Amino acid sequence: MIIYGASGHGKVICDIIKCNSSQEKIVFVDDAQKGNYFYNHPVFLTKDYDMHQDQLIIAIGNNLIRRKVASRYINFGQAIHPTAVLSKTVSLSPGTVIMANVSCNADTQIGEHVILNTSCSIDHDCEIHDFAHISPNVSLAGNVKVGTGSHIGIGATVIQGIKIGNFATIGAGTVVINDIPDGATAVGIPAKIIKFNK
């Protein structure tokens, strides 16, 4: 597996891959190489590495940048921690990362390059669209839609049936009880929109 991004997020993805297969060859690539090794694995400058040798996971937390990088490549892997509990009816897509202790219930759809971060809880019939990031300890009730590229901050809670638009940001600890439009940043309990992203 190739991990794009010699970063903290990249280390977590590396650990997940090793949990599943201790034999898997792992290399990091980075646009600004930081030495020859990172987290005990070789690291190469992206431009010097043949990216077609193996599957790729993009370890970049910024959803917009992750999307930009993804547009340059085609062969993506997944990293799913063995402690994640996923209903057999959950649908997954390439590039997605699912961290430790995530739970994901019936008929939920997870898009491409989504990050389901540590211990988040996603109930039934949710739609998590491409390049979204669901932070640690987020709780999404049933039938929640999270639009493309949106970030749900650490510990946020979203009640059932809510639609969060594309490239929206939900602040840490926020409780969302109304739909959130595209590009909005919403914070607090209950969530209030404080600005729109450019």
Ligand X SMILES: CC(C)(COP(=O)(O)OP(=O)(O)OC[C@H]1O[C@@H](n2cnc3c(N)ncnc32)[C@H](O)[C@@H]1OP(=O)(O)O)[C@@H](O)C(=O)NCCC(=O)NCCS
**CA gap 51, 61 in Å, rounded:** 20
Q: What angle do CA 50, 69, 92 make, to 5 degrees?
A: 100
**Shortest Å distance, C-beta 186 to ligand X:** 8
In terms of CB distance, is 161 or 190 closer to ligand X? Answer: 190
Instruction: Name the residue number minimizing CB distance to ligand X.
Output: 171
Q: Which of 109, 173, 181, 182 binds ligand X (CB under 6 A)?
A: 173
Q: How far is the CB of 98 from ligand X (least distance, A)?
A: 14
Of 70 and 97, the one with the shorter C-beta distance to ligand X is 97
> Which residue from 117, 119, 121, 157 is in contact with ligand X, where contact means CB under 6 A?
117
In order, the DSSP letters of 113-174 are: T-EE-TT-EE-TT-EE-TT-EE-TT-EE-TT-EE-TT-EE-TT-EE-TT-EE-TT-EE-TT-
Find all residues with CB under 8 Å of 72, minimum gap 6, and list them: none
Binding-site size for ligand X (CB under 6 A) equals 14
Only segment of 23-31, 43-51, 69-77, 169-177 that touches ligand X (CB under 6 A) = 169-177
